[in-house]
Amino acid sequence: MLNLVVKYAREHLDVDPRFAPKWVRWAIVCDPQGQFLGVMELGDPSQRRNRGQRFGKCPDLPSFVVAGGTKGERRCHFLVETAQVVALHGVAADDEKARRKHLYFVDLLREASQAMPELGLLAQTLEDETALASIRAQLEQRKAGGTDRVTLCINDDFPVESEAWHAWWLGFHSRLTSAKRVKGTMRCYVTGQLASPVLRHPKVRGVARRAGGSAMDALVCFDKAAFASYGLEASANAAVSQYAVAAYKAAFERLLEQSSHVLAGAQIVYWFARPLARDDDPLEWLQGAQDQEELWAQKRAAEVLEALESGRRPELLSNYYYALALSGAHRRIMIRDWMEGQFQNLVGNVKAWFDDLQIVRRDGAGMTGPPKFMAVLGALVRELNELPPSLVARIWRVAVNREAIPYAALAMAVARARGDVLADQAPNHARMGLMKAYHLRKKGGSPIMPSLNEDHPHPAYHCGRLMAVYAALQHAAQGDVGAGVVQRYYAAGSATPGLILGRLSRLSTFHLGKLQGDRPKLAGWFENKLAEIWARIEDKPPTTLTLEEQSLFALGYYQQIAADRAKRPETVQEDEDTKEEGNDG
Residue 455's φ and ψ, nearest 5 degrees, are -105, 20
Residue 578 has a pLDDT of 43
Cβ partners under 8 Å of residue 307, min gap 6: 313, 316
- Strand blocks (E) in 42-103: 53-59, 81-82
Report the predicted TM-score, pTM, of the whole model to 2 decimal places.
0.80
Higher confidence at residue 539 or residue 467?
467
375-401 pLDDT per residue, tens: 999 999 999 889 998 899 999 999 999
pLDDT value at residue 482: 61
The mean pLDDT of 179-198, rounded to a whole number, is 85
Residue 345 has pLDDT above 70, yes or no: yes
Is residue 571 predicted with pLDDT exceeding 80?
A: no
Helix axes 96-112, 166-177, angle to 10 degrees: 130
Q: What is the mean pLDDT of residues 240-244?
A: 91
Map residue 102 onto helix, strand or coil: helix
- Structure confidence by residue, pLDDT tens digits, 495-518: 999 999 999 999 999 989 888 887
Question: What pLDDT score does 483 carry?
Answer: 63
Distance, first Cα to last Cα, the chain: 77
Return the pLDDT at 226: 77
By mean pLDDT, which of 57-66, 128-137, 150-159 is the weakest? 57-66
d(CA 266, CA 392): 7
What are the φ and ψ backbone dihedral angles of 444, each rounded to 5 degrees? Answer: 75, 15
Predicted local confidence at residue 550, as pLDDT? 97
Cα 161 from chain centroid (whole Å): 35
**446-495 confidence digits (pLDDT tens):** 789 999 999 999 999 999 999 999 999 998 888 876 667 888 999 999 99
DSSP H stretches of helix in 43-95 = 63-67, 83-87
Q: Pairing state of beta strands 81-82 and 149-154? A: antiparallel
What distances in angstroms separate CA 231 from CA 179, 238, 242, one per listed residue?
18, 13, 21
For residues 457 and 448, the answer to whether their CB atoms sit within 8 Å is no
pLDDT tens per residue, range 104-124: 999 999 999 999 999 999 999
Distance, C-alpha 2 to centroid of its chain: 21
pLDDT at 572: 53
In whole numbers, what is the pLDDT of the chain averaged over residues? Answer: 89
Task: State percent of the chain over pLDDT 90.
Answer: 67
**Mean pLDDT confidence for 158-166:** 96
- What distance in Å separates the CA atoms of residue 52 and residue 25, rounded to the nearest whole number? 4
pLDDT band, residue 570 (cuts 50/70/90)? low
